[in-house]
Amino acid sequence: MPRITVVKDKRLNNIIDAPCGECKRSTKHKVLTGIDLTSRDEAEDTLIYGWDNEYQIIQCLGCETIMFRQSHMNSEDMEHVAGPNGWESDYVTFEEYYPNPEKNRTALSDDHLLPEKLQRIYTETLSALNGNNPVLTGIGLRAIVETVCKDQSASGHNLYSQINDLVKQNVLTKEGAEILHKLRVLGNDAAHEVKPHTNVQLGLAFDVVEHLLQGVYILPYHAKRKFK
């Protein structure tokens, strides 16, 4: 039987970074109270499965809004990160906030400048994000990237190649392409694995998509009008 340990959070009044729905950005939050839960399922001193959960009530130090934070980490979900000695494995931390800080997110002020099909999928994805539908949001983010590639006539037999072609066209920077590849994987997980991502991940991904739309469509439109 797994052993579950309950520990009262000793990090009260600690300051952490968290997204704030009122401030519309990441801000400093104070931990008001919390509890940590730890579970370990072992056999002959060998870890079979383990997880760590944090449950906290936190308060924004800017607008003083209070919300609930939950984080989860387990022994099965790991990712490879670049370290000083090469690639290293690290545990993935999943975070959720209630109420959802991405709720009531507003659209780009000039989204009417987007091509019709692109504006439609952008609007539907924003609606899914505001409605706390993480799987549909992930699928929508990938669809936005696909639609941009198609509209820009990017060549390639798959989305990976098309994103790279946008770099050759000088539509994207190399760094921008790397971010879009992460969105591509996020969308694949949502579409094929029905894998939900956290509202923090989806909010950041949506920021990236909006930056792409502004750079490819909205800013060039205004530049042509104001710098004739």
Residue 130 has pLDDT above 80, yes or no: yes
Say if residue 213's pLDDT is above 80.
yes
Give the pLDDT score at 176.
Answer: 79
Whether the per-residue pLDDT at 112 is higher than 90: the answer is yes
Q: List phi, psi (to 5°) of 144.
A: -65, -45
16 contact partners, CB below 8 Å, separation of at least 6: 28, 29, 31, 58
Pairing status of strand 86-91 against strand 94-98: unpaired
pLDDT band at 140 (very low <50, low <70, confident <90, very high): very high
Whether 124 shows a pLDDT value over 80: the answer reads: yes
Buried b (16+ CB within 10 A) or exposed e, 111-125: bebbeeebbebbebb
Task: Report DSSP letters for 78-100, one per residue.
Answer: EEEEEETTEEEEEEPPEEEEES-
Q: What is the pLDDT of residue 26?
A: 84
Q: Output the pLDDT for position 25.
A: 82
Single-letter residue type at 212: L
Please, what are the domains in the chain? 3-98 (no CATH), 111-226 (1.20.120.580)
Amino acid identity, residue 100? N
Residue 214 is given by DSSP the state I
Residue type, 60: C
- Mean residue pLDDT of the chain comes to 84
Q: Scan for tokens 């991405």, then name that residue.
A: 102
Q: Quick: pLDDT tens for 46-84.
A: 777 888 999 999 999 999 999 999 988 888 877 766 566
CB 30 within 8 A of CB 19: no
The whole-number pLDDT of residue 228 equals 67
- pLDDT at res. 69: 93
Give 86-110 pLDDT, tens digit per residue.
667 777 788 888 887 877 788 898 9
Question: Where does the pLDDT of residue 14 fall: very low under 50, low under 70, confident under 90, or very high at 90 and above?
Answer: confident
Residues 16-53: tens digit of each pLDDT: 988 888 888 889 999 999 988 888 887 777 777 888 99
CA distance 69 to 31: 10
**What's the whole-number mean pLDDT along residues 161-188?**
82
**pLDDT value of residue 201:** 78
